Structure 1
Amino acid sequence: MKIGVYDEWWPTGGGGEKFAAGIAQALTDGNEVRLLAHEPVDTDALGERLQLDLSGVGVDVVPIGQGAVEDASADYDVFINASYMSRAVPRSDHSIYVVHFPSPPQAAPSGPKDRLRQVLRPLVAKPGVSITYRQGFHPEERIGKHVVRWTTGDAEVEVALPPGAEEELVVHVGRFVGTALGRVPIRIEVDGRHVLNASVAARAGRVERATVALRVPVAARPDGEPVTVRILSDVHVPADVFGTDDRRTLGVPVAGVQVGDDLAAVARRRYPSLDAAPIEFGWARCYDRVVSNSAYTRAWVHRWWELDTAVLHPPVTLQSRADKEPIILNVGRFFSPEHGHGKKQLDLVRAMRALVWRGKVDGWTLHLVGGCAPEGEEYLAKVRAEAEGLPVQIHANAPGALVRELYGKASIYWHATGLGEDPDRHPDRFEHFGITTAEAMSAGAVPVVIMAAGQEELVDHGRTGMLWEPVVQLVCFTEDLIADPDRLVRLSAAAEVEAGRYGLGPFGERVRGLVDDIVTGTPDT
């Protein structure tokens, strides 16, 4: 069979990409497996980074855009969509969709702001006018107070206009492109005709004011078809310019596109929800099988999408055990918790301070290991300041060899993602599964982790590790384990066995079974 595995984010080489690439590796025997990507992928380099063997996997490059992905999916016997937030509808004979975490539906109006939007929405509507982001745009992301779509350097917007209409189209481009890029040239074409040359440069000061409005004339076409507006610009790769983990090819950040410049148009751009249609999830039901990466994710898919899914836990690269040392380990990127499911390193340092104050951790050291992009430097500085004078070692952007060495030597593993968060308001701020916890367990580190989300699936309290809720339990459980070496050894052995269930071997068996089931028509159980 010819199998395509799609992930828009292959260049980032993160946890989601390891999941997707693990699926590809598992299916190479007897199949032609291709990574569906938006730019060339060096499978050898990607495999080395993810600790996977992708030597038998090819690459197919398609344009960015939902339509292009849907068209490409028809070329495969089995299309596996493992791209976060993708809503592409498959056109292959068989298909699987992987949910890393679901997007929420549009909530029913409840508070004063929601009711105000319902009143204003019909007032700002522009009859006969619609704007569609066709291709060449990355998914939405938030920068400051702006929701933007980065282009790939060549993006298209379709503008539907009523017959005979002549309007001004306003493209709002963010000026938060980074000073290292200098001035980025932009060219705008309307139905293949060059209409504007412009440029954008980084602006110091408040991000909220950092946009520039590019104005171009548009007129309804005689044939009634939408007008095609093309936005072209120079491109960059953030990893090469700024030293981040982001290896996407980026053009310019488009903060909004509007027709006209009256108050209604401004309101629609400033408050997109005034123009937004309710989010529908019918596309997910077009797949033969939808799988979630954990029972925690499955519960939220059921709650938000009203869809039952199977669970396919991510593949875990099992680590090698070494002679154990008095090391407490935590692995995770350094960034402020309000930017996502933060790893709460600041809280872990404070827990270590409490242990030191109680005088029960002589000779023990807490090691915090993780990547840190420029936007995480401020949070990292706070962690370093809090750790001053404590037996805490911080390894920012550590090489993989050091991470593996610490996995092998660590006796205890701490994890606190989700601490202090509201699971109903921000379920995405919790660990959906917990690959680093499983990796640490595979090397015999005893997990002492928060009793929340995916961590509860990994750890059997009192048998393979310890689950805590208030931080005082983290302190007390750690203290008890340090004081009882025999128990630490027993839990270490049990944790190592448990982690083996999530290794590449068992994962591959589950993936192959899943594909066999959809091809043969076996019902989901």
Structure 2
Amino acid sequence: MKIFLFNKYLPTSGGGEKHAGGIAEVLSKKHDVTILYSGEANVTLISSKLNLDLSRVKFVSFSEERNIYSQVMEFIQSNRPDIFINATYFSTFVAPNAVNISLVFFPKFNLTRKPSTYDTLVHKVGEEFFNRYDSTVRFFEGFYNEEINGNKVGRWSTANSTLLITKPFNKLKIFFKPLEGRIVRDVVKSIKIHGNKLNFSFYKDIIEIESPVKHSCGIHLKFDTFKPSDSFKNNFDSRNLGLFIRLVYIDTHDVFTKWVIKAWNSKVLGKYLTRIYVKWTVIKEYNWNRGFLEANLNISNSDYTSSWIKRIYGEKGIKVEKLYPPVDVEHFFNSSEKKNVILAVGRFFVGGHNKKQQEIIKAFKNAYASHPDFRDYKLVICGGTHPEDHHQDYLKLCKLSAQGYPIEICTDIAFSDLKAKYATAKFFWHAAGMYENEDLAPDRFEHFGITTVEAMAAGCVPIVIGVAGQKEIVSHRQNGMLWRNEQELISHTVELIKNEDLREQLSVNAIAASKQYSKMNFNHRVEEIFKEYLK
């Protein structure tokens, strides 16, 4: 069978790519498997880094200059796979005329609960106001997701963006939000239809185009861009932004839609219509996300992820199978000469499910100052890095915080070196999700925790935050310790420092528990899940 696996972020070689690549490795033994991804990647290096045999797998790379989903759709329509596996984080792309399977690292969501009756009512009102506008004007390519900027709703463009207008028109107006210090005449480089440049004029916050168009068309906009992180102090937004577009008006809109646009731009009614619009788009996206899950067999990476799929979208009509990521537990070893080392492993980055290295450093410093037992210990933090300035600034902050204490920060080290550190460390700390609210931001927690399993396989006793995916891996006082706050993290560590017999027993149990996440078990589970789709 012909199988396409779509993983946009393959070049990052993270845990999600290991999970997706593991599926590709198993299926490629008997089937024609192609991995689709964005950008440039050294496939041989990635295979080695992830410890996967992808020699039978084909790879297709798509340009980062165009919308990735348009390119994938074109490729699918030309090559027609039997099975399409979407393994891209937070993607809801569905392939036509194929069996659709989704690898869900965490469900895409904009609500953490089912919509209320009030939500549904406002959504219906919003449909009456905005459906006709929404079906006529589409932000097609090169736009970021909708957001609120000040009190205005809109989308930031990239350097090259395309609006799709589905009706003929003679006059078109683009309403935008001016940004201090940026002159719009310098920002807009060109506007084209069918490759032909159009003349346009500016008036306050409007770009106006007069050009008779007899059919639906794409309006191609080219902008000069900027990075807020480079332009504004304490701004971590590293996106390349062009113009913040709020609304698009065409003279052939029906009378009601023209009134809606006029009211939306007014000071009095504008704020009320914005509230309705926001609620309408939220519920519309919720319904779309649920429809995506209903259209797929959904493979989750943990019970934690499965529980949130059910909590947000309900169980009716949604099929979920659990498949833990593969961990090369047999490649780790437990040194007989353990050192007084506490190890933490995770990429250095800000936002999302940040690994909380700063909080780990703070906890160690507090323990070092208040508990003499910690004076003989060293904290070692290992992790990959990202080139963006705000991520590098976070790494610098961690290094600065560590000064004056027995804290070692190791970045981008070879996997062989990391395995050696696992083998000789006594304890493993993990804090992703610390000080976060699980009910409001469940995606900021560890959905599974591959590094925790790696530590356990090396006999490094896990002392990890007792929430989300970590609770599935670690059983408190059986193969590790779970904590909910800094005080418990420190007290559990002190207890094990003082009780060597307990530490050794937990170490032995941790090694045994890690084996359930072996690659062999993963391979068997893949075959079991896919069996009915590969007949």
Q: What band does the TM-score fall into relative to the shorter chain?
A: 0.7 to 0.9
Aligned Cα root-mean-square deviation (Å):
4.1
Q: 1:441 to 1:66 in 2, by over 3 A?
A: same
Q: Which residue of 2 aligns with 1:310?
A: 321
Q: Which residue of 1 aligns with 2:479?
A: 464
1:173–1:252: 8 Å Cα contact kept in structure 2? no
* 1:508 CA displacement: 2.0
Does 1:340 find its partner at 2:352?
A: yes
Q: 1:300 to 1:471 in 2, by over 3 A?
A: same
1:292–1:310: 8 Å Cα contact kept in structure 2? yes
Q: Which residue of 1 aligns with 2:232?
A: none
* 1:483-494 superposed matches below 5 A: 483-494=498-509
Deviations 1:379-423 (A, max 9, x none): 444434443332221224445444333222211100111122211
2:199–2:210: 8 Å Cα contact kept in structure 1? no
Q: Which residue of 1 aligns with 2:343?
A: 329
1:295–1:457: 8 Å Cα contact kept in structure 2? yes
Report the residue type matching 2:162 in the other structure.
Answer: E
Does 1:351 find its partner at 2:343?
A: no
Q: Which residue of 2 aligns with 1:222?
A: 214
> Which of 369, 377, 395 is matched with 1:364 structurally?
377
Distance in 2, matches of 1:185 and 1:397, equals 40
Q: Which residue of 1 aligns with 2:304?
A: 296
Q: 1:403 to 1:474 in 2, by over 3 A?
A: same
Report the residue type matching 2:298 in the other structure.
Answer: V
* 1:138 CA displacement: 6.9
Distance in 1, matches of 2:43 and 2:148, equals 30
Q: Which residue of 1 aligns with 2:391?
A: 376
Deviations 1:238-259 (A, max 9, x none): xxxxxxxxxx9x9755643631
* 1:309 CA displacement: 1.2
Report the residue type matching 2:344 in the other structure.
Answer: N
Deviations 1:360-392 (A, max 9, x none): 123211111223442134444443444333222
> Which of 259, 263, 271 is matched with 2:248 structurally?
259
* 1:430 CA displacement: 1.0
Report the residue type matching 1:132 in the other structure.
Answer: R
Q: Tell me which structure has the larger Cα radius of gyration.
A: 2
* 1:441-520 superposed matches below 5 A: 441-520=456-535
Does 1:132 find its partner at 2:132?
A: no
Q: 1:216 to 1:55 in 2, by over 3 A?
A: farther
Q: Which residue of 2 aligns with 1:286?
A: 295
* 1:155 CA displacement: 4.5
SS in 1 for 2:479: coil
Q: Which residue of 1 aligns with 2:255?
A: none
Deviations 1:410-463 (A, max 9, x none): 111001111222111111111111111112112221101111000001112222
SS in 2 for 1:69: helix
Distance in 2, matches of 1:348 and 1:258, equals 45
Distance in 2, matches of 1:235 and 1:3, equals 38
Q: 1:427 to 1:348 in 2, by over 3 A?
A: same
1:298–1:308: 8 Å Cα contact kept in structure 2? no
Report the residue type matching 2:521 in the other structure.
Answer: P
Deviations 1:483-521 (A, max 9, x none): 22232222222212222222322222211222213234x
SS in 2 for 1:156: strand
SS in 1 for 2:376: coil
* 1:385-400 superposed matches below 5 A: 385-400=400-415
SS in 2 for 1:457: helix
Q: Which residue of 2 aligns with 1:86?
A: 91
Identify the range of structure 1 (452-461 vs 33-42) with the bigger mean alpha-carbon deviation: 33-42
Q: Which residue of 2 aligns with 1:523?
A: none
What are structure 2's unaligned runs of at least 5 residues?
Answer: 227-237, 250-260
* 1:392-431 superposed matches below 5 A: 392-431=407-446
Among all aligned residue pairs of Structure 1 and Structure 2, give the percentage whose two residues are the same amino acid: 28
1:160–1:220: 8 Å Cα contact kept in structure 2? no
2:348–2:391: 8 Å Cα contact kept in structure 1? yes
Q: 1:175 to 1:411 in 2, by over 3 A?
A: farther
Q: Which residue of 2 aligns with 1:96?
A: 101
Deviations 1:207-246 (A, max 9, x none): xxxxx989362657324x3x2112457999xxxxxxxxxx
Q: 1:295 to 1:274 in 2, by over 3 A?
A: closer
Q: 1:22 to 1:133 in 2, by over 3 A?
A: farther
1:128–1:160: 8 Å Cα contact kept in structure 2? no
* 1:114-263 superposed matches below 5 A: 125=130, 128=133, 130-135=136-141, 151=158, 155-161=161-167, 164-170=169-175, 186-195=189-198, 215=207, 217=209, 221-223=213-215, 225=216, 227-231=217-221, 255-256=244-245, 258-260=247-249
Identify the range of structure 1 (44-53 vs 416-425) with the bigger mean alpha-carbon deviation: 44-53
2:321–2:529: 8 Å Cα contact kept in structure 1? no
Identify the range of structure 1 (131-140 vs 477-486) with the bigger mean alpha-carbon deviation: 131-140
Identify the range of structure 1 (447-456 vs 135-144) with the bigger mean alpha-carbon deviation: 135-144
SS in 2 for 1:362: helix
Normalised by the size of structure 2, how large is the TM-score?
0.77
Deviations 1:79-123 (A, max 9, x none): 111111222223344331111111225575899xx99x9899699
Distance in 2, matches of 1:422 and 1:505, equals 36
Q: 1:415 to 1:76 in 2, by over 3 A?
A: same
Report the residue type matching 2:300 in the other structure.
Answer: S
SS in 2 for 1:326: strand
Q: 1:41 to 1:196 in 2, by over 3 A?
A: farther
1:173–1:214: 8 Å Cα contact kept in structure 2? no
Distance in 1, matches of 2:208 and 2:443, equals 39
Distance in 2, matches of 1:77 and 1:173, equals 48
Report the residue type matching 2:343 in the other structure.
Answer: L
SS in 1 for 2:33: strand
Q: 1:47 to 1:190 in 2, by over 3 A?
A: same
Q: Which residue of 2 aligns with 1:243?
A: none
Distance in 2, matches of 1:471 and 1:57, equals 45
Q: Which residue of 1 aligns with 2:229?
A: none
What are structure 1's unaligned runs of at least 5 residues?
Answer: 178-182, 199-211, 237-247, 521-525
